């Protein structure tokens, strides 16, 4: 009798554990920072690549500005064994996955892997659909810390929010049942209203088809764009989505991310070569302000100093890792501006609250010419009260430029060439007073009002006024607004822990 009671209690407890929500798994309280091979290397993966990348994350000083996850994407499996366990491709990973994972962990980094909620992955490897429990156990055995879970070959179990939710929830439960904390990253390309249910089971969810290395060039293969941003009938969100397309896609529901569950705008293209430096600045700044996971997509063996100095900007990373965890939203879009030969041209103003009462402000110029842009406090704080009824609109603000302290190219070159260990990187970072999260977390640095995170003061906005800025074609100006008088010593919003 006791035995039966005991086992029912156990079943109840495991059911409770199994259905506990990933958003409450304690992980990803700020957007994950790391690297993923897909954008630059596709299926060209191996143990050597991952270990080489991990050591470069360390020696380039990227780990010391917060990048942690080394994520292996598709193309690592080799069928299943007679017991149904997924097999690792031993040609690419000769010592098995546990060995790779251990060596990544030895650096103090975390390890991510990939599978699909289908019978095959997108590159036609082994998928996890109907094998969720045994695959979750394999991931736990490999000491995986992050799982990207794709959407190909779903056997038709898609087309409604409920069907897709069920398919992804099965893996959420299987991961929870392993007892290992694993960040659960959904990759169903924004289909089936994932922006409404992703947060219930996952730490992040992709909202679009695959990004490509273009700032604004439209491509029919990236469907489901601005005219039907949340349509469940969107056919094949596909690939070749530009930075601008992804921004337009997320704009109506940009506010859905929160600590523990973030909207994934896809891995970064910075450093791949298809965009200008200015375009990459816009791409990185907006991904950070929208609180997307920031996974470097470049091949680190070919990283340029310019790309490194975008990826390692602590003032922008502090926006991504802000303790309040509120994504920026678009407060203005203007399409009456000069267009390019594709008919593309628009400007945006994005803004959102930050811990301590600050506010991020981004003026994006995707028009086909340099422009003077104007951001009104009335629009920036419209969400807090329209027509300047918000107290913030009646405040004077200091304007801090978050790209003014970008690392010098020579320092970046030294990190890329001469640094071979974490100590080397730390020495170089220290020599130039670059921010280092292993000495001071972003949260602590913000609490201490560290100037390297707050940016450089360049202007002011008077109460009920506006900021006018020249913004070059295809880039963004990125500012942290700070209340000038702190509203007579009062702050509008405190750090989350103080609330
Ligand atoms: C796509 C996914 C990409 C990448 C690729 C691998 O579906 O969106 O990010 O993972 O599959 O085959």
Instruction: Read off the pLDDT of residues 159-172 as tens digits, 9 standing for 90 and up.
Output: 899 999 999 999 99
- 435 token code pair: 């921010």
Q: What is the mean pLDDT of residues 475-487?
A: 89
Does the structure show a pLDDT above 80 at 378?
Answer: yes
Structural contact between residues 183 and 171, judged by C-beta atoms closer than 8 angstroms? no
In this predicted structure, the answer to whether residue 284 has a pLDDT above a threshold of 90 is yes
The edge-to-edge listing of strands for the beta sheet with 347-353 is 329-334, 347-353, 359-365, 475-483, 397-401, 456-461
**What is 287-305 written as a DSSP string?**
HHHTT--EEE-S-GGG--H
d(CA 373, ligand 1 centre) in Å: 37
Chain-centre distance for alpha carbon 443: 18
**Does the beta carbon of 187 lie inside 6 Å of ligand 1?**
yes
Give the DSSP H or E segment for 146: strand 146-150
Q: What percent of the chain has pLDDT over 70?
A: 90
Residue nearest to atom 9 of ligand 1 (CA): 210
Best residue among 150, 222, 241 to mutate for probing ligand 1's pocket (most ligand atoms within 8 Å of CB) is 150
For ligand 1, atom 3, the nearest C-alpha belongs to: 210
pLDDT of residue 143 exceeding 60, the answer is: yes
CA atoms lying within 13 Å on the CB side of residue 186: 34
β-bridge mates for residue 351, sequence order: 329, 361
CB 407 within 8 A of CB 300: no
**Is the predicted pLDDT of residue 80 greater than 60, yes or no?**
yes
pLDDT tens-digit readout, 222-272:
876 555 544 555 665 678 999 999 999 999 999 999 999 999 999 999 999
Q: Strand, helix or coil at 263?
A: strand
Banded model confidence at residue 485, pLDDT cuts 50, 70, 90:
confident
Q: Is 191 in the pocket of ligand 1 (CB under 6 A)?
A: no
**Residue-level pLDDT at 2:** 34
Written as one string, the DSSP assignment of 320-339 is: HT-TT----EEEEEE--S--
Which pLDDT belongs to residue 16? Answer: 40
168/188 Cα distance (integer angstroms): 9
**CB of 378 closer than 6 angstroms to any ligand 1 atom:** no
At residue 337 the predicted structure's pLDDT band, cuts being 50, 70 and 90, is very high
On average, the pLDDT of the chain sits at 91
Contact in structure between 467 and 361 (CB atoms under 8 Å): yes
74 Cβ closer than 6 Å to some ligand 1 atom? yes
pLDDT tens digit string along 314-332? 999 999 999 999 999 999 9
Ligand 1 pocket, mutate which of 210, 223, 240, 296 (most atoms under 8 A from CB)? 210
pLDDT beyond 80 at 499: no
Q: What are the residue ranges of helices labelled H in 402-472?
A: 409-417, 422-431, 442-447, 451-454
Residue 237 has a pLDDT of 66
C-beta 150 within 6 A of ligand 1: yes
Task: Assign residue 155 a region (left: φ > 0; alpha: ψ between -120 and 50; beta: otherwise).
Answer: left
Counting ligand 1 atoms within 8 A of each CB, the residue from 36, 39, 187, 212 with the most, and so the one to mutate, is: 187
Give the position, in ligand 1's atom list, of the atom nearest the Cα of 187. Answer: 8
Cα 51 to averaged position of ligand 1 atoms, centre (Å):
21
Phi/psi at 78 (5° precision): -145, 60
Pick the closest to residue 61 from 453, 422, 442, 433 (CA basis).
Answer: 422
Rounded to whole angstroms, the maximal C-alpha distance in the chain is: 79
Please check the confidence at residue 36 and state whether its pLDDT lies above 90: yes
Residue range 344-360: mean pLDDT, rounded:
96
Please tell me the distance between residue 367's alpha carbon and the centre of ligand 1 in angstroms: 30
Higher pLDDT, 417 or 17: 417
Nearest Cα neighbor of 315 from 65, 113, 115 is 65
Measure the CA–CA gap between 453 and 434, rounded to whole angstroms: 10
Query: Tokens standing for 475?
Result: 């880039």
Is residue 264 in contact with ligand 1, taking CB distance under 6 Å? Answer: no
Rounded Cα distance between 152 and 165, Å, is 15
> Of all protein residues, whose CA lies closest to atom 8 belonging to ligand 1?
210
> Is residue 10 pLDDT above 50, yes or no?
no
Q: Is the pLDDT of residue 22 over 80?
A: no
In short, whether 38's Cβ falls inside 6 Å of ligand 1 is yes
Q: Does the pLDDT of residue 495 top 60, yes or no?
A: no
Residue with tokens 């994934």: 264
The per-residue pLDDT for 226 is 52
Closest ligand 1 atom to 151 CA: 7
Helix (H) or strand (E) holding 38: helix 38-41
8 A C-beta contact, residue 50 and residue 279: no
| E strand spans, 40-106 | 69-71, 77-80, 86-88
Can you give the pTM of this predicted structure?
0.93
Residue 256 bridge partners (DSSP): none
pLDDT reported for residue 233? 55
DSSP, res 91? T
User: Active-site residues: which are they?
Assistant: 150, 210
The full length of the chain comes to 499
pLDDT higher than threshold 80 for residue 206: yes
Query: Which residue from 425, 455, 434, 481 is spatially nearest to 59, judged by alpha carbons?
Result: 425
């Amino acid at each position: 009798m006791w035995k039966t009671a005991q086992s029912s209690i156990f079943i109840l407890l495991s059911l409770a554990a199994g259905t506990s929500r990933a958003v409450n798994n304690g992980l990803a309280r700020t957007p994950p920072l790391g690297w993923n091979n897909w954008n630059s290397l596709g299926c060209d993966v191996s143990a050597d690549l991952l270990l080489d990348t991990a050591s470069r994350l360390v020696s380039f000083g990227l780990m010391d500005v917060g990048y942690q996850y080394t994520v292996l994407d598709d193309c690592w499996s080799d069928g299943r064994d007679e017991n149904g366990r997924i097999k690792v491709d031993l040609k690419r990973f000769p010592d098995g996955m546990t060995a790779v994972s251990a060596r990544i962990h030895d650096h103090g980094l975390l390890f991510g892997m990939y599978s699909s909620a289908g019978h095959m992955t997108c590159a036609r490897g082994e998928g996890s659909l109907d094998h969720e429990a045994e695959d979750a156990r394999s991931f736990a055995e490999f000491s995986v810390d992050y799982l990207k879970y794709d959407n190909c070959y779903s056997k038709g179990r898609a087309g409604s929010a409920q069907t897709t939710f069920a398919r992804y929830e099965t893996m959420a439960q299987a991961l929870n049942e392993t007892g290992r904390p694993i960040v659960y990253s959904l990759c169903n390309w924004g289909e089936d209203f994932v922006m409404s249910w992703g947060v219930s089971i996952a730490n992040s969810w992709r909202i679009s088809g695959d990004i490509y290395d273009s700032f604004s060039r439209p491509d029919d293969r990236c469907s489901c764009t601005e005219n039907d941003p949340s349509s469940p009938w969107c056919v094949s969100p596909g690939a070749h989505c530009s930075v601008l397309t992804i921004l337009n896609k997320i704009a109506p529901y940009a506010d859905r991310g929160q600590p523990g569950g973030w909207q994934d705008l896809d891995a970064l293209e910075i450093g791949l070569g298809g965009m200008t430096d200015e375009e990459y600045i816009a791409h990185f700044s907006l991904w950070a302000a929208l609180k997307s996971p920031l996974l470097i997509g470049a091949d680190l063996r070919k990283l340029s100093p310019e790309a490194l100095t975008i990826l390692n900007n602590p003032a922008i990373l502090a926006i991504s890792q802000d303790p309040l965890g509120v994504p920026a939203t678009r407060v203005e879009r203007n399409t009456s501006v000069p267009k390019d030969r594709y008919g593309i041209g628009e400007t945006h103003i994005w803004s959102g609250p930050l811990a301590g009462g600050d506010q991020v402000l981004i003026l994006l110029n995707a028009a086909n010419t340099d422009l003077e842009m104007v951001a009104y406090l009335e629009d920036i704080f419209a969400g807090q009260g329209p027509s300047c009824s918000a107290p913030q609109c009646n405040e004077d603000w200091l304007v801090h430029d978050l790209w003014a302290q970008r690392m010098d190219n020579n320092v970046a070159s030294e990190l890329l060439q001469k640094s071979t260990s974490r100590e080397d990187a730390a020495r170089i970072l220290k020599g130039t007073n670059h921010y280092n999260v292993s000495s001071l977390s972003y949260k602590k640095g913000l609490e201490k009002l560290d100037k390297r995170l707050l940016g450089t003061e360049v202007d002011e906005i008077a109460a009920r006024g506006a900021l006018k800025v020249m913004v070059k074609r295809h880039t963004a100006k990125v500012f942290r607004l700070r209340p000038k008088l702190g509203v007579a010593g009062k702050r509008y919003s405190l750090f989350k822990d103080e609330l």
